[in-house]
A and B are shown apart, each in its own frame.
Chain A
Amino acid sequence: MYKVAVVGDKDSILGFKALGIDVYPVIEKDEARRVVDTLARNKYGIIFITEQTASLIPETIERYNNQMLPAVILIPSNQGTLNIGMDMINKNVEKAVGTNIL
């Protein structure tokens, strides 16, 4: 059974706890990377990560883009969206169908 986790700043992600999702608050870059890597190894199937945190560790995000699992999904934080997540979805759609249909 795969698990689901959410990574980001504490204020944005605490609410996920109510849904039964594991919550991993991080502040700085190295910490974020280490948490994501550790989660990936510990059989987490989906890792939600706030865009703000993701923008600190683009290498790590890219790394899991090329793997089937875990699915690293970018979500907006409580400060709003940086549009990175939406861009990534657009790109994936374009790759899949050949044109941007969204």
Chain B
Amino acid sequence: MKVGRIIKVSGPLVVAEGMDEANVYDVVKVSDNKLIGEIIEMRGDKASIQVYEETTGIGPGEPVYTTGEPLSVELGPGLVTTMFDGIQRPLDAIRAIAGDFLTRGVEMPGLDREKKWHFTPTVKVGDQVEPGDVIGTVQETTVVLHKIMVPPGVRGKVKSIEEGEFTVVDTVCVVEGDKDYNLQMMQKWPVRRGRPYARKLNPDEPLITGQRVIDTFFPAAKGGTAAVPGPFGSGKTVVQHQLAKWADAEIIVYVGCGERGNEMTDVLMEFPEIKDPRTGESLMNRTILIANTSNMPVAAREASIYTGITIAEYFRDMGYSVAIMADSTSRWAEALREMSGRLEEMPGDEGYPAYLASRAAEFYERAGKVVCLGNDERVGALTVIGAVSPPGGDISEPVSQATLRIVKVFWGLDSSLAYRRHFPAINWLNSYSLYQNKVDEWMDKNIDPDFSKNRIKAMTLLQEESSLQEIVRLVGRDSLSEGDQLKLEAAKTIREDFLQQNAFHEEDTYTSLNKQNLMLKMVLAFYDEGKRALDNGVYLNEILDLPVREKIARAKFIGEDKVSEIENIIDELKNNIDELISKGGILDA
């Protein structure tokens, strides 16, 4: 390959000439430090290269070597539990050779070349295989069975296949097609291209997250897309962490994109200690981390999102339900903006490049519930949840708008709720989920036939509360009728005893759907029973003074193994109301 020559350096952007043999999106090595870069624009023989490492000390005249390959990730056993940087360099391994901070020009393969994995074949010699067929399995962690698939483009008859301990680059299987393909456990895939699948399905199953406000009111579907916009301090990161911890996906890819390093540290410290409620194993055993914290090179931030989603797609292709959390896509958009500015492109709104919306759409469209390639018609789902950090919390800015146009679930975080210590600070009045209808069907079938009815009832109460609040602000609470005052109290109960959830409390941090259903019934029972009492002449104060209300408030701390206690609370409430009616109720006239 011809060697290019640098003619201009502008931060992470390097322009080199003599690059006429290279193609756009090829990976190049810049200068003799071998900094990794990617060509993002070609004009004649001049290539604009975004360099994924610090470019200090690089000057014109230095060489640029083309690799002729697009930016790719290595996919194979060894991904899970590892923490990578934005271009899939394992940070642990880098630390071992370079110390605590990234140094330049460290070359490190994404997957450990030394480690041996036990490969168990699932096909026999002579079997016909197609792209996507599973040829063998590797028990990667205690909970993840890594399926080794035939890479796209390879089809034919299995000529030989072996069981045993192999590294990811050893040949485990030879497929005889139009030529002999030596299959390894590892395959490579360019990050900017979505991995192929047979066909897309409509997402209809909820992604159960254990977060009451999300599961009950604004559910995300498996294979869906969701966005969490919110001003700083409103708990975006905590929401993302909670989802990464408790979502019932089999694989979690967490992309820390341009946020604080401490937040990744939190993940690293907490996840190994938390037990997955479904498998009883450490959460780390199903998690892959991609870290490009705010002090890491900007250009790699742009790539980190693609690296993450390509890895996620790979696990989806195995037929797993995968969820990827990107925190935060605003930093990614800012990285795009920085590069766009240096490329001297015509800026769009707020300086973001004109292609911001199409790039964001490209990313989110890689989500989906799909029938994977391969003969067993397995179904995988890839759920994408992106945090957006609009400056000042104003979602009319371009990144939020571009995101909202594509995603189907919007969890709007509200700084005033956060200020009132209402967490998760998801605003129930402006958030929405477009999967609601599908998920309602699922809930009614699998959890409780009344689930969606109850949800609508609770939401109606919350909406009525907000209009009543306006009256209260004008003329004061006492001027409301007792029925309306009860409504306010019931809405308060829904807010405080159902929506609020403490991420740091052992029991409260995760709520099963069954418990959510009972809790929802309980808070609604308070309204229904209260209304019945009022109709029968009981005074509002007497209802509000019932000691059982404290039990309602504490129901969220009831352990998952004792959820039937909530039914007892409902019964107790009914009995108490009956007593009140028999004592103070009006006579049958």
The answer to the question of A95 belonging to the interface, with a C-beta cut-off of 8 Å to chain B, is: no
A41 adjacent to B584 (CB under 8 Å): no
Q: How far is the CB of B1 from chain A (nearest CB, A)?
A: 89
CB neighbours of A33 from chain B (8 A) = 584
Residue from the list B539, B541, B589 in contact with A41, Cβ < 8 A: B589
CB neighbours of A59 from chain B (8 A) = 539, 541
Within 8 A of A (CB), among B464-496: 478
Given A34-B537, A37-B537, A59-B539, residue A42 in contact with residue B589 (CB < 8 A): yes
Complexed CA–CA distance, A35 and B585 (Å): 9
A38 adjacent to B589 (CB under 8 Å): yes
The answer to the question of B586 belonging to the interface, with a C-beta cut-off of 8 Å to chain A, is: yes
Given A37-B537, A38-B537, A63-B539, residue A30 in contact with residue B583 (CB < 8 A): yes
B586 adjacent to A38 (CB under 8 Å): yes
Q: How far is the CB of B560 from chain A (nearest CB, A)?
A: 42
The answer to the question of B97 belonging to the interface, with a C-beta cut-off of 8 Å to chain A, is: no
Given A59-B539, A63-B539, residue A37 in contact with residue B586 (CB < 8 A): yes
Q: Closest A-chain residue to B482, C-beta based?
A: A63
CB neighbours of B346 from chain A (8 A) = none
Q: How far is the CB of A45 from chain B (nearest CB, A)?
A: 16
Cβ-Cβ contact count across A and B, 8 Å cutoff: 24
Produce 1/0 per residue, A34-48, CB < 8 A to B: 110110011000000
Q: How far is the CB of A39 from chain B (nearest CB, A)?
A: 9
CB neighbours of A34 from chain B (8 A) = 537, 584-587
Complexed CA–CA distance, A41 and B587 (Å): 10
Complexed CA–CA distance, A34 and B584 (Å): 6
Complexed CA–CA distance, A41 and B534 (Å): 12
Within 8 A of A (CB), among B515-541: 537, 539, 541
CB neighbours of B537 from chain A (8 A) = 34, 37-38, 41
CB neighbours of A66 from chain B (8 A) = 478
Q: How far is the CB of B485 from chain A (nearest CB, A)?
A: 13
Q: How far is the CB of B116 from chain A (nearest CB, A)?
A: 80
B584 adjacent to A30 (CB under 8 Å): yes
CB neighbours of A38 from chain B (8 A) = 537, 586-587, 589
Q: How far is the CB of B176 from chain A (nearest CB, A)?
A: 90
CB neighbours of A42 from chain B (8 A) = 589
Within 8 A of B (CB), among A9-57: 30, 33-35, 37-38, 41-42
Q: How far is the CB of A91 from chain B (nearest CB, A)?
A: 18
Q: How far is the CB of A16 from chain B (nearest CB, A)?
A: 20
Q: How far is the CB of B588 from chain A (nearest CB, A)?
A: 9
Complexed CA–CA distance, A29 and B584 (Å): 10
B586 adjacent to A41 (CB under 8 Å): yes
Q: Closest A-chain residue to B540, C-beta based?
A: A63
Produce 1/0 per residue, B573-589, CB < 8 A to A: 00000000001111101
Most A-side CB within 10 Å, residue of B537, B583, B584, B586:
B586
24 contacts between A and B (CB under 8 A): A30-B583, A30-B584, A33-B584, A34-B537, A34-B584, A34-B585, A34-B586, A34-B587, A35-B587, A37-B537, A37-B584, A37-B586, A38-B537, A38-B586, A38-B587, A38-B589, A41-B537, A41-B586, A41-B589, A42-B589, A59-B539, A59-B541, A63-B539, A66-B478
Q: Besides A34-B587, A37-B537, A37-B586, 19 other CB < 8 A contacts?
A: A30-B583, A30-B584, A33-B584, A34-B537, A34-B584, A34-B585, A35-B587, A37-B584, A38-B537, A38-B586, A38-B587, A38-B589, A41-B537, A41-B586, A41-B589, A59-B539, A59-B541, A63-B539, A66-B478
